[in-house]
Amino acid sequence: MASNTISTESFGIRYGIIAAAAMIAYFLFINVINLQDMEVVRFASNIFILVAVIWAINAYKNRSRGPMPYLPGLAVGFLVGLISSVLYAFFIYVYAKFLNPDYATVLKTQDYYGSVLSPMMLAGAITILGTAVGTMTGYIMMMAYDNSGARTAD
């Protein structure tokens, strides 16, 4: 039974780290080209979570060589979103608090979710949003891989 030896945690951690590295690289890139103050551009970093979840679930499916188990697929999506967003939020917190305190000042003047957030609160918001993106992407992917046989009448 190859599917019993496959760890959802290993896939979640591996692809979560990959997504976090891509998000951090993206953040540094938008800083180089001076777009870090645009909320829409910063929000686009969540695309990396979406791509990593799709990549992780497809890798998990290929490795299991059988029907894709529904709950492990959801777990992979959740873990990728959680790991990547926690690592990215930690980076943003360290960056704004210690590496570039001027950026923390910029963040304090911007309106997130209808209120001004401290770097710690912003890290929490990033974590919640990233986990939601990963979980919902995993849910949608598992709908595509549903092997239950339930079909609607045409």
Per-residue pLDDT of the chain (154 residues; tens, 9 = 90+): 444 567 899 999 999 999 999 999 999 999 999 998 787 898 899 999 999 999 999 999 888 877 778 889 899 999 999 999 999 999 998 998 889 888 777 776 666 655 666 778 888 888 999 999 999 999 999 988 866 555 555 5
Q: pTM for the whole thing?
A: 0.85
60-82 residues labelled b (16+ CB within 10 A) or e (exposed): bbeebeeebbeebbbbbbbbbbb
For the chain, the structural domain boundaries read: 9-141
What torsion do the CA atoms of 105, 116, 90, 99 make, to the nearest 10 degrees? 0
